[in-house]
Amino acid sequence: MVRSLALLAALAAAAAAAAAADGTTTVSLLLPQSDAQKLVGSVVRVDATVTTFVIGCPPGTPAESCGVPSSQTVVQGPSTWDMPVSLSAPDTGAYTQDSNCKLDPSRDVASCHISVSNSQMVSEAATVVTGYSSMLIPVTITAGVNKLSGKANAAGPMVTQNAALAAVAAAAGGAMLWA
């Protein structure tokens, strides 16, 4: 019995070491117009106020099965969220959408501004979303994890708060695009 417990402890330690060496972590991000799905990402940059992520579906995921562009940028911080999108649609042509929010995590409120434009129009809207923290989606970070270390206070809480904001912006942006 003692040998079994020692072996089990050794296997658990080896698995934990392998995961740490693996260089992955999971963060929760707000992602407009995205259903819960498996997503991967990388940390591009971390500073005192925001972390810049690039996210997408795991390699090998068919494009029609992925609810986000192949390389979507999300910028998040404890009180800031921004998600620029550039797309092309058959009926409207190329357009850009920029959604950004100011987050108030203590109240779980996001004050957002959404701008959508193409060569023929610009449309803007503002909205306040309560309960944005319920709109988080887990993203497995597979590259740039080392950039998060030493910035735990900036990247950890800001990831959660900005992720929630992204969901708010997503809901507001989706309503604007589909209206």
- pLDDT digits 0-9 by tens, 34-71: 778 899 999 999 999 999 999 999 999 988 888 887 78
Q: What angle do CA 169, 88, 64 make, to 5 degrees?
A: 80
Query: How do residues 97-125 score in pLDDT, each as one tens digit?
Result: 999 999 999 999 999 999 999 988 999 99
Position 32 scores a pLDDT of 64
13 is a domain residue:
no
17 is a domain residue:
no
137 is a domain residue:
yes
Average pLDDT of span 128-148:
90
Indicate the pTM of the whole model: 0.69
Beta bridge partner(s), residue 98: 84, 115
6 is a domain residue:
no
Position 146 scores a pLDDT of 92
Cβ atoms 33, 67 nearer than 8 A: yes
Query: How do residues 83-97 score in pLDDT, each as one tens digit?
Result: 998 888 788 789 899
Residue whose pair of structure tokens reads 């080896």 in the numeric block: 14
70 is a domain residue:
yes
Domain count, the chain: 1
15 is a domain residue:
no
126 is a domain residue:
yes
- Residue range of the domain that includes 87: 24-178
